[in-house]
Amino acid sequence: MSKIRILPDVVANRIAAGEVVERPASIVKECLENALDAQAHQIDLAVERGGKESIRIRDDGEGMTQDDAILAFERHATSKIRTAEELMAIQTFGFRGEALAAIGSVARVTLTTKLHGATSGTEVCLEGGKLRHVREVAAPGGTEILVRDLFFNLPARRKFLKTEATEAFHITNLVTHYALAHPQCGFTLQHNGRQVLAVTATTDLRARAYQLFGANMLDSLAPVEFAQGGIAVGGFVSRPHVQRTSRDGQYLFVNRRFVRDKLIGRALSDAYRNILPPGVFPAAMLFVEVPPDMVDVNVHPQKTEVRFRTPQHVLESIVTAVQQALGRSPQFAPFPTTA
């Protein structure tokens, strides 16, 4: 008798879910990306107890049919790619078709969705990977997903969640990133009924940075505008008088995707090497744009890591872009000068 068995879907899904869903902020990330992929113009989030109790995300994007709303929770179910070739040039945030399946298998989820113009919407309810019910409901156009009791069926994982304040910080940080990268979309975020963030749809990054961080912050920034050899770097970096003791003020993106990329972090440090003392960090909102086939985003299920085909080229471009920005900046004096 053979000893090897194919795992039942429920078990396989729960294992896979561990890689996608690490903490409440992971759920927020996946749902924000789905909303943006669905062309939402307004995204409203309400989180209770750092997301450990519940996370509600509502968008006015294209919505889903009833069949799609059910399929969406299957693993590898996606509307975003069809062939392996398309993996080489991904234009959407999603493509793995794993997020909803993962979320649905480690929490209690209610998804309500309606195509714009449809006469009725759909509610799909899952608990721990099991479909509980599907019903027709009245709903506005777009999608709302309510995720409760994260890891209720994985008590060991639930214990590893941090305090309410820490989990809420991660969520706010994440929403701030997405809000920066998508000025054309309005965002609101409530935590325990209190408004934490609210920005209306606007025109560009400068306007959005003003909404999020205020005029003082904006005054301390120098614009970055660089394009060469297929790489473009845009955004803002702080002038040398802004000195931070952590990288918290650094918002880094590759092709509008929020990344935690060591290479970009290093490029920033390199660019400020003779300007800022060690242990002090600049603030930055940096958008690196490369042709989609120059970067692999399929490195990790959470997709916050990327791999560049020509990392050295990217690094040098960023250093040059930032140095040019600082050089151009009128209030900038690299070294104290004695007249």
Nearer Cβ to ligand ADP, position 13 or 317? Answer: 13
Output the smallest distance, CB 296 to Mg ion, in A: 18
Nearer Cβ to Mg ion, position 76 or 262? Answer: 76
| Residues in contact with 331: Cβ distance below 8 Å, sequence separation at least 6, in sequence order | 239
Q: In angstroms, rounded to a whole number, what is the distance separating the alpha carbons of residues 115 and 38?
A: 11
Nearer Cβ to ligand ADP, position 100 or 326? Answer: 100
Return the closest-CA partner of residue 147 out of 17, 234, 37, 279.
17
Return the closest-CA partner of residue 105 out of 13, 7, 23.
13
DSSP 255: T
Note the Cα 297 to chain centre separation in Å.
13
- 72 contact choice in ligand ADP, Mg ion, none (CB below 5 to 8 Å, kind-dependent): ligand ADP
Among positions 241-280, residues that touch ligand ADP (CB under 6 A) are: none
Where do we find the tokens 């614009």?
Answer: 223
- 268 contact choice in ligand ADP, Mg ion, none (CB below 5 to 8 Å, kind-dependent): none
Nearer Cβ to ligand ADP, position 94 or 128? Answer: 94
Residues 285-314, one symbol each (x = binds ligand ADP by CB under 6 A, - = not), give ------------------------------
- If one counts every other C-beta atom within 10 angstroms of the C-beta of residue 161, the result is 17
Return the closest-CA partner of residue 62 out of 122, 120, 113.
113
The footprint of Mg ion (CB under 5 A) covers 34, 94, 99
13 forms part of the interface with ligand ADP (CB under 6 A): no
Cβ distance 177 to 251 under 8 Å?
A: yes
Q: In angstroms, rounded to a whole number, what is the distance separating the alpha carbons of residues 326 and 175?
A: 28
Quote the tokens at residue 154: 């994985």
Among positions 171-230, residues that touch ligand ADP (CB under 6 A) are: none
Nearer Cβ to Mg ion, position 80 or 247? Answer: 80
26 forms part of the interface with ligand ADP (CB under 6 A): no
Residue number, nearest CB to Mg ion: 94
Nearer Cβ to Mg ion, position 93 or 253? Answer: 93
Residues 47-86, one symbol each (x = binds ligand ADP by CB under 6 A, - = not), give ------------x-xxxx-------x----xxxx------
Return the closest-CA partner of residue 221 out of 208, 244, 238.
238
Binding site for ligand ADP (CB under 6 A): 30, 34-35, 38, 59, 61-64, 72, 77-80, 94-101, 143
